[in-house]
Each structure stands twice: as structure tokens, then as C-alpha cells.
Amino acid sequence: MARMNRSSRLSNVFFTFLGAASVGLVVAVLAVAGVFDQPERIVREVPREAATPVSQPREAPGSVSEIYARTAPGVAFIRAEGAGGAGGTGSGFLIDGQGHIVTNDHVVESATTFTVRLGEDGDPLSAKLIGKDASTDVAVLEVDPKKISGETKPLQLASSADLRPGDAAIAIGSPFGLSGTVTTGIISALNRDITSPNGFPISGVLQTDAAINPGNSGGPLLDGQGRVIGVNSQIAASESRQSSGVGFAVPVDTVNEVVPQLLKDGEIDRAYLGVRTEPGESEDGAVVFAITPDSPVADTDLRPGDRILDLGGQAITEPGELADAVLDHKPGERVKLTFERNGDRRTIDVQLGTRPDQTVQG
């Protein structure tokens, strides 16, 4: 989550939670601080509470020291540099024997050259960017696998589908440039929504109290068996930028879906509707509060205040379901959209567009 540069400038880039899955305002800050000059995505307003299942505690996790010894050699310290020497640092982790390393999009954005060091004692390796996806804050770098020590093993990817609050969470990364740092905690909550670097929502996010600080971005969040369950991406902080013990990780199930596409094409085109919505006050659906100009629905009968109930045959009970329904389709597909206005149900035909690089204010 970090970028090193020995200047003392302070730069803040604000991202606002926009789009069809909007259930509340989340402001994320790419903060640059002190001697490390490390950008960090910081949530100033904590995401609105999502439903979290309650269950009995599981067995205690295995030895953290054993897990660290086994996995830390596969965790990367990443230096990303752009034109004029500007750049920063972050974390990542090895996922296969071909030299592919997963990190955050916001660690590599705007950079042109990359250096990776696996483990605390690894040699600096030149890396190239294979692909990145701002919509999920995931990116993939590649190093020459022949230059990786034979003792360095890829991290095992688990599934985030069966996680429960209270499960063990272990973060390894390079906070403030201190590579090989391990912190522990638990999964505090599930199914949070945070804002991606391009302003669209990332759903299904894991919340953890394992300490995450500038420099942890892109590093792995592990379970009690040392398997990757998420990619550390953002923290919630006070105005003084002190960590509050509330961190957010992109779930590994998202990584499992996105990375193969990045390895194949380098980028991902997603379907786009062009509305911003909010929950209904007393009824199911996604209530439109803004329509983006020149979007697929800009010239249709849909209006702010309408309550969207169905898209492409999928019932919509809240804004997150609308976002998911859109992403189940491909750009260019035609879908039926059903909405209600003053008790009157209407259906329109919409040709989905391609999600832009940044959200557009409606």
C-alpha cells in the first residue's frame, strides 16, 4: 500500500463511491506521507454495515511463526517508478511457477518500471506489468522464473466463500518499507463495499483488524493455514491518518476470477449501465438518483426516482444486486430493464455499454 520517495510532499486523491451499487458514501484517499512518500488508499467514512452471518468460533489457527516461515519467502516488496523518478512501493505475492506476482492496481498505476524482491533476502528482480484492473484494484507483474530461488514457493490460494467473522487473519507485507512484516488478527466482517481506484464499487470485501498500514497494499491476507484469502487494499483512518484497526482486503475469489483474464488479455472490459442508485426507503429495488450523460440509459424512459426491479431476468432487491446483474453480462448485450414509477411498472430495452476508465458524474 505504499510508495517510497524521499520528498516531503503531501498528495491526496479522493475517490467517491459511485455507481449502481451505491449503498452509502465511501471516500478513499491515496495518501502520500513523509519520507516514504507512500500512497495509501484510506477510507475516511466506514462502509455501511452489511449483513454478516453469525456462527460458532472455529478452532484456533496454526502457529503464526510456522505460517510466516513457510509463506514469507513468496511475499514481494515492490518498487514502482514512473517518469522523472517518481514512484512508490508496495507489496505483492507469488502465485505460480511462471513468475506471476499479484498486487494492487493502485501500487502500479502510472508507473513504467518495476523492481520486485521476494522475501527479505531475495535479490532485486526486474518485473514487467502483465495486466491491471482498476475496477477490482488487482494487477499482475511478472519476473523471470529462472531468477527465483528454488526454495521460494508460490502462495496457495484458498476460497473466500466460506469465511466467517472470527476466522484467523494474517497479513504479510512491507508497511512503511519494512519488508517481511507480519501482523495478526481476525476477519471482522464480510461483504463490505469499498471504492476502487476508478471510482466503481468493489463488493464482497473482507474487513480485518490485522494491522495494515501504508506499504501493505497488494500483500496477502492469509487464513489460519497460510492460504491467501484476500489482497490487502485499503484502511479506515481518522483525520490524523492513524490506523484504526479497520482494514479491507479484496477477496481471493475475486482474484481467482480476475487474474486469469489479466494473464490472457491484460485488461478486462465490463458491461456498463450508467446509473447511480441507492436503497429504497421501505421497498426492495435500486432507486435511481442520477443518470450519467451519454450512458446506455441516458436517452431511455428511465428517470431519477425510478425504482429498478429487474435486469435481464434477475430480480433486484438492493443496489449491489443491480451492479452484479450488470456485470453478469458483456458490453454490447441487450437486456430488459424493469422499473417502477408511481406504482406503474415499465420495461425498457437497453444495450449495455463498456465501463469507462473512471466514473462520470451524472
Catalytic residues: 106, 137, 217
> Which one-letter amino acid corresponds to residue 201?
P
CB atoms within 10 A of CB 291: 20
For 353, half-sphere exposure in the C-beta direction (CA atoms, 13 angstrom radius) is 14
Cross-strand pairs, 114:
80, 127
Instruction: Single out the residue of 258, 3, 228 nearest to residue 114, CA to CA.
Output: 3
> Which one-letter amino acid corresponds to residue 49?
E
Euclidean distance between CA atoms 154 and 115, whole angstroms: 18
Instruction: Single out the residue of 120, 88, 123 nearest to residue 103, CA to CA.
Output: 88
**Are 286 and 278 within 8 A, CB to CB?**
yes
Instruction: Single out the residue of 157, 156, 3 nearest to residue 78, CA to CA.
Output: 3
**Are 78 and 116 within 8 A, CB to CB?**
yes
Cross-strand pairs, 291:
275
**Are 351 and 298 within 8 A, CB to CB?**
no
User: Residues 165, 251, 210, CA angle at the centre, nearest 5°?
Assistant: 55
Euclidean distance between CA atoms 309 and 284, whole angstroms: 8
